[in-house]
Structure 1
């Protein structure tokens, strides 16, 4: 009888020890599952999960003007084109272009502009960050958020094979002029009207926005006022890059203010 009792006691002890071992294993298994799930969640960064390509607009605070109207277009090849319009200031429009770099966390980008401007990339938003890479806080925080525009890149007007009418030259509005320029994809030919005479030549594009015009030839007709034409020819000699913003195109020298502003026409 005593032997039977000892046998039952030993069996109960074995069962109890087995249950305790199972209970100890379960938390470890659960922890492993949580760790695996956390790693999956962390892999969904702005770079990999958001549709960040597109055009963003907003008006930033300005200490000595009415505001800085900023437009930034980010492209799939990780290049950008930006335009700053200092509202209320004469000749207050500045363009920049270059590349974006995704920072280590995959949530922020940095532009290759002079200031190394950083943005937090959100759902249809770009939030400009301070120099330390942090979001601006306080009453003006909302003004640092640029919102994505509805127009898609599919509807963007192409630089080539478009007639660009001259609207502004050396910072001055141009009216009652037939001046235009067009860049044909066929044989990389550039042609147009300078205000009095027609012109043609060739062009090359590098790094998406770098432009070089060459072999420009014009007709030799004389007109009463050659001011627009002379300045237009000067622009063709100086321009080394271009930028696009909707139906507007600019010819520029380095990162200075646009030499000439054009609008697309049918």
Structure 2
């Protein structure tokens, strides 16, 4: 009887190992864009979007809530080994597990999940925005419009899902003039300003803030003054824009 019990236990353990091995093998690696709000020590949360490409490249964009509006993107590489997805950036390494076909969860380097905040560390798969989601003509909104600023933002899409961005002064003698080519990165338009002015190293960012509104800023808050270099009389490209009727 004792030998029979040991035999059954051995079969049981082998079945568990086989199931684990099969489970790890059957888990598909992440592909596409995942988004959510991660916990933050000194802010309400960190809006995060991360896109995994089949070639092993990855781009992550994060926006700290209740801050100045800067959203920083960083590129890196990813690989999956024994069920753990390791994402390597120039100054940071992150770890995820594939929670389901439509979700990933941030873990420690050993794949250990948070016991109490599992859901808060989960990013869900979403369909990324395309050029047509940004296309349109927008006018400056808020107090700056009331002060007489008449900047107009025009966004046009192209066949490669990139965008052409133009700022122009509308109905005023002094304003802003800008024209550049951008690409969509994690649901926001990014334009390296060096392509427009070789002396600049900052990135102009256009982010949708609603069905008919856009916010214009820089990827780093310290670079926001660069958006005034394309304007006259102390004006700036930065601000909130609403779709023209």
Classify the TM-score, shorter chain: 0.5 to 0.7
The structure with more radius of gyration: 1
Give secondary structure in 2 for the equivalent of 1:42.
helix
User: Partners in 1 of 2:207 and 2:41 — Cα distance?
Assistant: 30
Alignment of 1:51-200 (within 5 A): 52-102=30-80, 104-105=81-82, 107-113=83-89, 114-123=91-100, 124-130=102-108, 132-149=109-126, 151=127, 156-157=129-130, 163=135, 177-182=151-156, 184=158, 193-196=166-169
Q: Measure how far apart 1:41 and its partner are.
A: 5.8
C-alpha distance 42-128 of structure 1, shift in aligned 2 (>3 A): same
C-alpha distance 134-192 of structure 1, shift in aligned 2 (>3 A): closer
Alignment of 1:39-58 (within 5 A): 42-45=21-24, 49-50=27-28, 52-58=30-36
Q: Is the 8 A contact 1:108 1:118 kept in 2?
A: yes
How many residue pairs are counted as aligned between the two chains? 193
Q: Measure how far apart 1:196 and its partner are.
A: 4.7
User: Partners in 1 of 2:168 and 2:111 — Cα distance?
Assistant: 50
User: Partners in 2 of 1:191 and 1:74 — Cα distance?
Assistant: 25
- RMSD between aligned residues: 4.7
C-alpha distance 191-87 of structure 1, shift in aligned 2 (>3 A): closer
Give secondary structure in 1 for the equivalent of 2:36.
strand
C-alpha distance 167-44 of structure 1, shift in aligned 2 (>3 A): farther
Q: Is the 8 A contact 1:126 1:145 kept in 2?
A: yes
User: Partners in 1 of 2:153 and 2:193 — Cα distance?
Assistant: 20
C-alpha distance 176-42 of structure 1, shift in aligned 2 (>3 A): farther
TM-score, normalised to structure 1, is 0.52
Give secondary structure in 2 for the equivalent of 1:143.
helix
Q: Is the 8 A contact 1:81 1:243 kept in 2?
A: no
User: Partners in 2 of 1:116 and 1:93 — Cα distance?
Assistant: 19
Q: Is the 8 A contact 2:156 2:165 kept in 1?
A: yes
Aligned to 1:251: 191
Alignment of 1:198-213 (within 5 A): none
User: Partners in 2 of 1:84 and 1:74 — Cα distance?
Assistant: 15
Which structure has more helix as a fraction of its residues? 1
Q: Is the 8 A contact 1:83 1:95 kept in 2?
A: yes
Give secondary structure in 2 for the equivalent of 1:99.
strand
Q: Which consecutive residues of structure 2, in runs of 5 or more, have no partner in the other structure?
A: 1-6, 195-200, 213-245
